[in-house]
């Protein structure tokens, strides 16, 4: 019995390890984003998936519910995943920062990108999630995730759709669904085409990883 208990304590059980991390995140005060949050947003999905998706950070809806990608960008993310026959239950989904970054504008709080110091403060949690889930593939959604996971100098327009290696993990970045939603006309078509192409490449690697597991 001791050895089973030890292996759980030692983090062999991914659910337990993630639950403990989520508990730590829920009381985190490493940066000022803690001051205005309703809920922390830790992550959801399959902790045994070979594929991890990393977004930017919670918005208003995510802050209200404690769940990632529940707003309009989340609906588009579901459509993107569905294009390759995946659901969010097939992947592990998290964000670069776990609390909403917002600024007051005209009497109400508006989402803003997380600052470098906020991303730095939160990074140990993301790194621990990566250690717990041990993904073979990471898809970064947008520039902040790519700069955090892949390279601080990552340029999303130039560098998206390419494979990088991060501590033995294959990593790619694509446009953030919220960015796609902000485009119009030809720009919208070309952003969608780019994301679809990137997600096909990720799916090929995902299938390869699953086959290797069998």
Consecutive H or E run containing 21 = helix 14-26
| 58: contact with ligand URA by CB under 6 A | yes
Residue nearest to ligand URA (CB): 55
Considering the complex, state which of residue 2 and residue 53 has its C-beta at the smaller distance from ligand URA: 53
**Candidates 68-76, 122-130, 156-164, 198-206; binding stretch for ligand URA (CB under 6 A):** 68-76
Record the tokens describing residue 26, joined without a space: 């829920």
- Alpha carbon of 42 to those of 23, 54, 66, 137: distances in Å? 9, 11, 8, 19
| 55: contact with ligand URA by CB under 6 A | yes
> Mask 70-109, x = binds ligand URA (CB under 6 A)?
---x---------------------x--------------
3 state DSSP class of 203: helix
Q: Give least dist CB 56 to ligand URA, A.
A: 3
| 126: contact with ligand URA by CB under 6 A | no
3 state DSSP class of 182: helix
- Residue 140, burial from CB neighbour count under 10 angstroms (0-12, 13-18, 19+): buried
Q: Which of residues 1-30 bind ligand URA (CB under 6 A)?
A: none
**Candidates 9-17, 58-66, 159-167, 180-188; binding stretch for ligand URA (CB under 6 A):** 58-66
> Mask 171-190, x = binds ligand URA (CB under 6 A)?
-------x------------
Assess contact for 174 and 197: CB atoms under 8 A.
no
Considering the complex, state which of residue 69 and residue 125 has its C-beta at the smaller distance from ligand URA: 69
Query: What CA dihedral angle connects 8, 9, 12 and 17, to 10 degrees?
Result: 100
Q: Say which DSSP state 163 is in.
A: -
Which of 69, 125, 154, 206 binds ligand URA (CB under 6 A)? It is 69
**Candidates 56-64, 121-129, 131-139, 163-171; binding stretch for ligand URA (CB under 6 A):** 56-64
3 state DSSP class of 110: strand
**First and final C-alpha spacing in the chain:** 29
Q: What is the rounded distance in angstroms from the CA atom of residue 3 to the CA atom of residue 138?
A: 32
Binding residues vs ligand URA (CB under 6 A) = 41, 55-59, 62, 68-69, 73, 95, 178
């Amino acid at each position: 019995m001791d050895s089973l208990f030890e292996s759980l304590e030692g983090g062999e059980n991914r659910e337990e390890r993630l639950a403990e991390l989520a508990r730590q995140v829920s009381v985190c005060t490493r940066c000022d984003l803690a001051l205005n949050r309703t809920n922390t947003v830790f992550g959801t999905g399959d902790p045994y998936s070979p594929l991890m998706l990393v977004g930017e950070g919670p918005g208003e809806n995510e802050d209200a519910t404690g769940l990632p990608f529940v707003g309009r960008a989340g609906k588009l993310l579901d459509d993107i995943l569905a294009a390759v026959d995946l659901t969010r239950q097939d992947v592990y989904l998290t964000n670069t920062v776990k609390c909403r970054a917002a600024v007051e504008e005209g009497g109400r709080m508006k989402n803003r990108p997380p600052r470098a110091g906020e991303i730095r403060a939160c990074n140990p949690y993301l790194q621990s999630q990566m250690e717990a889930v041990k993904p073979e593939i990471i898809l970064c959604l947008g520039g902040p995730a790519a700069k955090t996971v892949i390279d601080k100098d990552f340029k999303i327009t130039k560098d998206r759709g390419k494979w990088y290696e991060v501590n033995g993990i294959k990593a790619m970045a694509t446009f953030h669904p919220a960015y796609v939603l902000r485009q119009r006309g030809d720009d919208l078509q070309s952003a969608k085409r780019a994301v679809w192409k990137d997600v096909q490449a990720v799916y090929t690697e995902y299938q390869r990883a699953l086959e290797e597991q069998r």
